[in-house]
Structure 1
Amino acid sequence: MTNKFKFFAADFPNSPGVYLMKNDRGRILYVGKAKSLRKRLSSYFRASANHTPKTVALVSHIRKVDVLLTSNEKEALLLESGLIKKHRPRYNIVLKDDKQYALFKLNKHSEFPRLSITRKVTRDGSVYFGPFTSSTAARTVWKLLGKVFPLRKCTDAAMKNRIRPCLYHDIHQCWAPCVKEVDRSLYNDMVQRVEMLLSGRSMELVDSLTRKMKAASKEMEFEKAAVFRDQIRAVKKTVEGQVAVIHDNRDRDVIGLAQTEQGLGLGLLFVRQGRLLDEKQFFWPGLTLDEGPEVVESFISQFYGPGRFIPSLIISPYEFDDSPLSEVLAERGAGAVRITLPQAMKEKQLVGLARSVAAQARERKDTISARLQKVLRLPDEPVRIECIDASHLSGTNMRVGQVVFEEGRRNPEASRLYAFPELDGTGDDYAALSAWARRRVESGPPWPDLVLLDGGRGQLSAVEAALAECVDDGCWELAAIAKGESRRAGELGDFIFRPGRKNPMPLKPGSAELLFLQKMRDAAHRFVIGRQRSSRKKAVLSSELTALPGIGSKTARVLWDRFDSLDDMINADSTEITTLPGIGRKRAEKIHAALQSLKISRKA
């Protein structure tokens, strides 16, 4: 092991930035930000410093410190957050459960607004409600609302191309504004009711519906009165699990911390329009309340990332007046965000409730990642697993698919497809996997904690040899899953191989660990085959498209960038084609005519 790191304050600038502490293998141990890098780093290596056990352990492993300068502390905060998410350093407060929660989205800018479930907030004029930590609960509410408030269900693209009502119209859950004449004033009135309900004005909505129900009954319009009655029941059923905790109309999240025997728990309450909508727990083993301010600041920075719903008020057990955190959240969200201590008695009670939630948080020791670490004998828990599968079509169209699982869940946005045209005609899976390993290293972090290959010892050796050439600090943790010869009922026949072992790992057939590895292998196989077929189909359709007069390869690319299928191109009118870049009115008319001729030839 190399000598202990010797710190000299003069080696570091007295300016804002981010520092990266590394061990003797160059791995990042900790990422931090500072208004003054010199002062902040000096606090770690001062002999009289009263450090927490975590900081003492961190300092003992530091062998190198790199710094990245920024123009201000706000830029340092943004850079720190991105680097923590990318590298997941061992000694940082890393938010493992950072998935986007379900939200209701009401696209009020549309002529006929639609209520949908989403996990991402975009600045498109829509109104968002939530979040729901349980997507099942969100979908249950969505279905209930759909039965009594028949808003349209289809997307804008589907609505534009629909020629007949869908099934939802047949079961009286949609007025079918896509093809039928719908009174916009009545539709907007229904949209307003849904918005009142989701924004917490449920009692006001019930009173309004009750008055309308009684008026309809008085006028002997009993069918209309029954509709209002069903809506009242739906409203009451939707809000029956929501507790009124504070009497105002503000959205706020409330954070509480609690020390447990195992570590530090954090409780988060989602309060919408004065009602407690949901709650969530987080846990970090081995931490204490002494690290509370760092935990809360890091949590807020990571949890309220881009695309997440951010309330205008966050109640925290600590103040961050000198931090640019509020400014950063305001830029990520849709308006000003205030992070403050609890002021009123009700807010203090909410922090106490959040603290009670935090006290119940526990480390999940039986996670699939922890079990895989044990059975595969890995040095660390595999938080990020990349599963790799090579595929070709009779030796051609060589592709390698990569799917990613984080904390036991698939991350579809991290999937990648690698093409290797230089290997076409070879059908060499080993060469493709070796080429993938080199390309994967070039693409940079986040690095995998485990790479799972669809194959056997040969595939494992090929990737291991390729990584040994281009990874400085040794090979990544590798495993391969291979199908056995047996296909008899009750025998799963899959073997798991690891480098340095002649025999497969002793995983029990039907065990949760083996089933999870099989699930990842199957996901990678479906991904690469699906993308391969899609690419081949698109190539065939593109050749059919470029065969038309006036449509070359560049025009075909422009059309494919705008439309999802050849049918969408054929159904588009010349006016829509005119909006494409580089295509004028006369050329659009020629393209439209060519597409119509293709439509006629298809029917012939």
Structure 2
Amino acid sequence: MFEFVTKDYPTDPGVYLMKNAQGKVLYVGKAVNLRSRLSSYFRGEVAHPKTRALVARVAGVDVLVTGTEKEALLLEASLIKKHRPRYNIVLRDDKSHILFKLDKTHDFPKIAFTRRVVRDGSTYFGPFTSAQAARKTWRELNRLFPLRKCRDVSFKNRVRPCLYHFIGQCLAPCVGAVGKADYAVLVRRVEAFLSGKSADVLKRAEREMLEASEALQFERAAELRDLLAAMRATIEGQAAVLPNHPDLDALDVFSAGGGMGLTVLFVRQGRLLDRANFFWPDFTDEELPEALPSFLAQYYKPESFVPGRVMLSQRMMEAMGEEAAAVTADILGERRGARVVLNAPRTDEERRLVEIASANAARAVAEAGAGGAQESMPALLGRKLQVGREIGRIEVVDVSHLGGKGMRVGMVVYEDGRFDRQEYRQYAFPELEGSSDDYAALARWVEKRIDSGEPWPDLVLIDGGKGQLAAVERAMGAAGLPHLWEIASIAKSGRAMNAQDDQVFRPGRKNPLALRPGSRELLFLQRLRDEVHRFVIGRQRQVRKKQAFASEVLNLPGVGPKTAKLLWERFSTLEGIKSATVEQLAEIKGLGPRKAAVVHAALHSSPPR
């Protein structure tokens, strides 16, 4: 039991980290006065059952002093993201939502997908929580407005129009089929449409249609007529909730059954665009004052789109308090690069919008299983794998090689309900080349993974049987960290070719776990195994393709490893080099006209040896 000594802690603002006996961070909190805040946990009776459970597990408390409450809030958000403590509000899906990006620094901009806001002069529209919905909208926009779709590299090197031009969805600026001025008119129309100024766009298009008709340009008039019809059909599907309002997000929470749901509604130019739902078990209204600033600092990251106004329900504003709300608004303003207003609804329409957010938050609670519904996957896995706690972060590993050549271990990460592809890794082991030793590769992977440090996984799932599991277990023991993370392996049973006969092994057990074929947990583990297998095989193919390419190109006269690398990065196939002109080859930085002429002549005089 942790013994709290008051004089050991400062009275400054800062952040505190509560840890268990194994050193794992259980909770991260901020305080204006660290000593006073920590005293509330360890002096006197703690009322809330969840807080009592937390305090009972605390074996130590670390503190980090900051200069201001604002710095404490920023540091708290950073540490929560790093440690993902069990007793904090942690975003189940903290990735940024999809945005449309219109790069206006380019002479012929296109609409691209992005998850990061970079202040480079581009214009952003969104966000969209569903990639499928975003792509559907993107296709509709391209049907309405024929902007280019190709990447900048393809745009520079294209010599004839692509298929999109022939089906009427691109003006082919790549081959000079449209001038900058005419293309700029289309870009302004797209920008106005996405900004919610659809009425102005419709009026201009209708005026242009009448002018084209009077000038006997019937083909152009027909194009504008079809554009008008398509835009009107698109606009009818949008819900106008706050006419003549600027961009804002509306939030509310709903508590029931020992859990709390929160919904963010995205309102752009007065129209309800999308929403995001969150749910945290074992959270109540009593925790709102501390949880809300933490959520907002985590959700609106520096690379996120931050609207000019964030509207919270009246009870959320009261729970936060004026001082915390002002500090949070200041942080969001810095991330936006302009002032952000954080306040409650002021009109009946705004209150109605918050009611919609509240209804969606209640739905999030119901769908997440508060009050006895379906068990969450982290809890189900913890119980079925006999871990004794929820499993959050899972790292899945698989060994891949071709007859001992190209020995690699691929790793994918599943965390908080999604595959985190930014965390995928491929580990190469040239020292094991030719050995075909999967066990040695897994042991080396354990060493490299420990060297890379936190965040540690709750579970490492290995594609393999008891031998692969034992290899990882031995390597963890040899490193002096036998209990750093839980491990399990998944393998075919050998009884049949039926995929449902996969078996899952855990250390200390001779027989596999009794997981029912077709059960939620087994199907989930199979999905993880299939993803790492897809990833590592795909990377192996890329490496072999690159090696084969380099082998062919290096046989060309005057081409060495450096030139081969430049050609690979630019074209990636031998056919791509062969179809390139001398001018296109010379455009490659580091190649030059003379070397380009040598390569081009070698390619077209005789095939590579």
Q: State TM-score, norm by structure 1.
A: 0.89
User: Following TM superposition, by how much is the alpha carbon of 1:88 offset from its aligned partner in structure 2, in angstroms?
Assistant: 1.1
Counterpart in the other structure of 1:428? 437
Matching residue's letter, 1:58: L
Give yes or no for the alignment of 1:463 onto 2:472: yes
**Greater shift in the superposed pair: 433-442 or 362-371:** 362-371
Counterpart in the other structure of 1:44? 41
For the 8 Å contact 1:402–1:416, the answer to whether it is kept is yes
User: Following TM superposition, by how much is the alpha carbon of 1:540 offset from its aligned partner in structure 2, in angstroms?
Assistant: 4.6
SS in 1 for 2:345: coil
Matching residue's letter, 2:16: Y
User: Following TM superposition, by how much is the alpha carbon of 1:573 offset from its aligned partner in structure 2, in angstroms?
Assistant: 7.2
- Equivalents in 1 of 2:581, 2:214: separation in Å? 50
Q: Aligned ranges for residues 121-136 of structure 1 at < 5 Å? A: 121-136=117-132
Q: Deviations over 1:86-136 (max 9, x none)?
A: 221011111102233222222222111111233332233221111122222
- Equivalents in 2 of 1:258, 1:528: separation in Å? 42
SS in 2 for 1:269: strand
Counterpart in the other structure of 1:599? 603
User: Following TM superposition, by how much is the alpha carbon of 1:443 offset from its aligned partner in structure 2, in angstroms?
Assistant: 1.2
Counterpart in the other structure of 1:330? 333
User: Following TM superposition, by how much is the alpha carbon of 1:486 offset from its aligned partner in structure 2, in angstroms?
Assistant: 4.2
Shift in CA distance, 491/10, structure 1 to aligned 2, threshold 3 Å: closer
For the 8 Å contact 2:259–2:284, the answer to whether it is kept is yes
User: Following TM superposition, by how much is the alpha carbon of 1:219 offset from its aligned partner in structure 2, in angstroms?
Assistant: 4.2
Q: Deviations over 1:404-444 (max 9, x none)?
A: 12234222111111122222232211111112112212211
Counterpart in the other structure of 2:196? 200
2:360 pairs with one of 357, 362, 387: 357
Q: Aligned ranges for residues 571-582 of structure 1 at < 5 Å? A: 571=580
- Equivalents in 1 of 2:76, 2:554: separation in Å? 48
SS in 1 for 2:139: helix
Counterpart in the other structure of 1:287? 283
- Equivalents in 1 of 2:11, 2:362: separation in Å? 40
User: Following TM superposition, by how much is the alpha carbon of 1:273 offset from its aligned partner in structure 2, in angstroms?
Assistant: 0.8
Aligned Cα root-mean-square deviation (Å): 3.0
User: Following TM superposition, by how much is the alpha carbon of 1:280 offset from its aligned partner in structure 2, in angstroms?
Assistant: 2.5
- Equivalents in 1 of 2:364, 2:400: separation in Å? 44
Q: Aligned ranges for residues 288-307 of structure 1 at < 5 Å? A: 288-307=284-303
**Greater shift in the superposed pair: 408-417 or 210-219:** 210-219
User: Following TM superposition, by how much is the alpha carbon of 1:367 offset from its aligned partner in structure 2, in angstroms?
Assistant: 4.6
Q: Deviations over 1:155-197 (max 9, x none)?
A: 1112112222222112111111112421322222222221111
Counterpart in the other structure of 1:496? 504
1:24 pairs with one of 21, 24, 31: 21
Counterpart in the other structure of 2:408? 399
SS in 1 for 2:173: coil
User: Following TM superposition, by how much is the alpha carbon of 1:590 offset from its aligned partner in structure 2, in angstroms?
Assistant: 4.3
Counterpart in the other structure of 1:476? 485
- Equivalents in 2 of 1:238, 1:150: separation in Å? 16
Give yes or no for the alignment of 1:11 onto 2:18: no
Counterpart in the other structure of 1:89? 85
User: Following TM superposition, by how much is the alpha carbon of 1:402 offset from its aligned partner in structure 2, in angstroms?
Assistant: 0.3
**Greater shift in the superposed pair: 449-458 or 26-35:** 26-35
Give yes or no for the alignment of 1:275 onto 2:300: no
1:339 pairs with one of 336, 339, 342: 342
**Greater shift in the superposed pair: 437-446 or 323-332:** 323-332
Counterpart in the other structure of 1:214? 210
Q: Deviations over 1:249-305 (max 9, x none)?
A: 411101112222332221211111111112222222222112112222121111112
- Equivalents in 2 of 1:455, 1:287: separation in Å? 39
- Equivalents in 2 of 1:601, 1:55: separation in Å? 78
Q: Deviations over 1:379-411 (max 9, x none)?
A: 223222111111223223321110112234222
- Equivalents in 2 of 1:438, 1:562: separation in Å? 31
Matching residue's letter, 1:361: A
- Equivalents in 2 of 1:495, 1:102: separation in Å? 38
SS in 2 for 1:178: helix
Q: Deviations over 1:35-90 (max 9, x none)?
A: 44333323332327x65333232222211011234454444333322221222101
2:513 pairs with one of 494, 505, 512: 505
SS in 1 for 2:445: helix
- Equivalents in 1 of 2:130, 2:584: separation in Å? 44
Give yes or no for the alignment of 1:186 onto 2:190: no
- Equivalents in 2 of 1:208, 1:72: separation in Å? 52
Give yes or no for the alignment of 1:262 onto 2:262: no
- Equivalents in 1 of 2:104, 2:264: separation in Å? 29
Counterpart in the other structure of 2:451? 442
1:519 pairs with one of 510, 524, 527: 527
User: Following TM superposition, by how much is the alpha carbon of 1:460 offset from its aligned partner in structure 2, in angstroms?
Assistant: 0.6
Counterpart in the other structure of 1:380? 389
- Equivalents in 2 of 1:15, 1:602: separation in Å? 76
Give yes or no for the alignment of 1:413 onto 2:447: no
Shift in CA distance, 171/29, structure 1 to aligned 2, threshold 3 Å: same
Counterpart in the other structure of 2:237? 241
For the 8 Å contact 2:585–2:596, the answer to whether it is kept is no
Matching residue's letter, 2:539: R
Gaps of at least 5 residues in structure 2 are: none
Shift in CA distance, 602/101, structure 1 to aligned 2, threshold 3 Å: farther
- Equivalents in 2 of 1:38, 1:516: separation in Å? 45
Shift in CA distance, 407/82, structure 1 to aligned 2, threshold 3 Å: same
**Greater shift in the superposed pair: 37-46 or 399-408:** 37-46
User: Following TM superposition, by how much is the alpha carbon of 1:342 offset from its aligned partner in structure 2, in angstroms?
Assistant: 3.1
Counterpart in the other structure of 1:139? 135
**Greater shift in the superposed pair: 563-572 or 155-164:** 563-572
For the 8 Å contact 1:257–1:292, the answer to whether it is kept is no
**Greater shift in the superposed pair: 423-432 or 332-341:** 332-341
SS in 1 for 2:63: strand
Gaps of at least 5 residues in structure 1 are: none
- Equivalents in 2 of 1:471, 1:413: separation in Å? 29
User: Following TM superposition, by how much is the alpha carbon of 1:478 offset from its aligned partner in structure 2, in angstroms?
Assistant: 1.6
Matching residue's letter, 1:108: K
Shift in CA distance, 34/596, structure 1 to aligned 2, threshold 3 Å: farther
User: Following TM superposition, by how much is the alpha carbon of 1:487 offset from its aligned partner in structure 2, in angstroms?
Assistant: 4.6
Aligned residues: 593
Shift in CA distance, 208/539, structure 1 to aligned 2, threshold 3 Å: same
SS in 2 for 1:360: helix
Shift in CA distance, 64/549, structure 1 to aligned 2, threshold 3 Å: farther
